[in-house]
Amino acid sequence: MTTITRKIQMVDLAGQYNKIKTEIDNAIASVIHSTAFINGPEVKAFQAELEKYLGVKHVIPCANGTDALQIAMMALGLKPGDEVITANFTFVATAEVIGLLGLTPVLVDVYPGTYTLNIDAVKKAITPKTKAIVPVHLFGQCAEMEELMKLAKEHNLYVIEDNAQAIGADYKYSNGTFTKAGTLGHFGTTSFFPSKNLGGYGDGGAFFTNDDALAKKARSITNHGSTVQYYHDDIGVNSRLDSIQAAILRVKLRYLDEYCAARQKAAAFYDKAFANHPKIKTPERSKQSTHVFHQYTLVFNNVDRNKLREHLTTKGIPAMIYYPVPLHLQKAYRDPRYKEGDFPVTEALCASVLSLPIHTELDDETQKFITDSVLEFVK
């Protein structure tokens, strides 16, 4: 087995930066020289460029992906007591903002193959109090949006796509046409956290809509409920994307498709190495979406996943558990409506998943070392 001299990371942000160093450094310097730190021209330019890339009418930049979800829910006028259906298997932010706004999170299970919202479970969870559904495009591919939008229309519900992990993915309609992930629902949200597929060098977020009235409302809420300075029509928040982050993101947006392709290539390498292994399940691809591999997540059967992780750590290979605890078993989200065993797929996933390093700078030699090390443990 080969040895690797360079430190292996889940995400290699330094390697990625080195390739575009001059462009990034110039972008940052130009904002500093302009001193337009807040809502400067870079923010407006990034907004317009992301609108064009996504093919969506309105992009509203904000401070982070969690705020994007919260402001979208505020703009939809959701009120305390309203029920919002979302996936149990997700990063906590999705449910957190539902709770923060006094809305009732209604958790549903996911599909065992794609880890996205189970449509039948959503159907069963709809009550007269349901107002919205929040599908999560987990690990980089879309939930079954066409079915969800149809269901939402039948029941007069809003749909907010949590697209923090799938920016750049393409959703494929059943008629064969494509649209970008995050642009099908009433709102789509994303995060520019550094390790996300389109990551800044600090916090950042945005949300999108094709609806003019919703965009206007959301823009106002993002800016203290104000469209005319010092006049406040709504109780809003202060949530802005920094000009420096916008300038960095403008550079990185130009590389997003290349970054997605690099992640897909790395995923294909892993797929091949673990294909048909009786104890390892490689990530299933949705028929309705491309996969941009924010994470490459394996499911291990009859393997001590935690011991495997330790084995990898001793070899200098990081591996992460996304996510170790289902929402309904988290202290903050315990609810008498739910008990252990209620979400068999999510619970099984939390006990058996492990995500391997995936980023834009992986080479075959490093990946071979990683896959050999996994297979050395998982006989």
Output the smallest distance, CB 36 to ligand PLP, in A: 23
Contact letters (x/-) for ligand PLP, 165-184, by CB under 6 A? x-------------------
The number of residues that bind ligand PLP (CB under 6 A) is: 15
Identify which of residues 72 and 121 has a Cβ nearer to ligand PLP in the complex.
72
Cα–Cα dist 52/290, whole Å: 19
Q: Note whether 184 and 153 are within 8 A (CB).
A: no
> Would you state the structure tokens that stand for residue 118, as one six-digit string?
């189970």
At residue 142, what is the residue type? C
Cα–Cα dist 92/159, whole Å: 18
Q: Note whether 132 and 160 are within 8 A (CB).
A: yes
Cis peptide bond upstream of 323, omega within 30: yes
Residue 260 makes contact with ligand PLP by CB under 6 A: no
Residue 105 makes contact with ligand PLP by CB under 6 A: no
Identify which of residues 133 and 280 has a Cβ nearer to ligand PLP in the complex.
133
Contacting ligand PLP (CB under 6 A), which of 12, 42, 162, 361? 162
Residue 245 makes contact with ligand PLP by CB under 6 A: no
By 3-state DSSP, what share of the chain in percent is helix, strand and coil, each rounded to 5? 40, 15, 40
Residue 200 makes contact with ligand PLP by CB under 6 A: no
> Would you state the structure tokens that stand for residue 157, as one six-digit string?
């519900």
Cα–Cα dist 109/117, whole Å: 6
Identify which of residues 81 and 324 has a Cβ nearer to ligand PLP in the complex.
324
By CB under 6 A, the residues from 209 to 238 that bind ligand PLP are: none
Residue 94 makes contact with ligand PLP by CB under 6 A: yes
User: What are the strands, taking DSSP E only, across 78-143?
Assistant: 83-87, 104-108, 130-134
Residue 191 makes contact with ligand PLP by CB under 6 A: yes
Residue 70 makes contact with ligand PLP by CB under 6 A: no
At residue 197, what is the residue type? N
Output the smallest distance, CB 164 to ligand PLP, in A: 3
CA distances (Å), 5 to each of 308, 330, 375, in order? 21, 39, 20
Identify which of residues 23 and 96 has a Cβ nearer to ligand PLP in the complex.
96
Residue 360 makes contact with ligand PLP by CB under 6 A: no
Q: Among 49-57, 86-94, 323-331, 369-377, which window interacts with ligand PLP (CB under 6 A)?
A: 86-94
Contacting ligand PLP (CB under 6 A), which of 56, 60, 152, 164? 164
Q: Among 12-20, 58-66, 267-275, 311-319, which window interacts with ligand PLP (CB under 6 A)?
A: 58-66
Looking at residue 289, what DSSP letter applies?
B
Cα–Cα dist 221/67, whole Å: 11
Contacting ligand PLP (CB under 6 A), which of 64, 183, 223, 360? 64
**Residue 247: in which H helix or E strand, if any?**
helix 243-253
Contacting ligand PLP (CB under 6 A), which of 75, 136, 142, 167? 136
Cα–Cα dist 297/284, whole Å: 10
Residue 90 makes contact with ligand PLP by CB under 6 A: yes
Contact set with ligand PLP (CB under 6 A): 64-66, 90-91, 93-94, 136, 162, 164-165, 191, 193, 203, 205
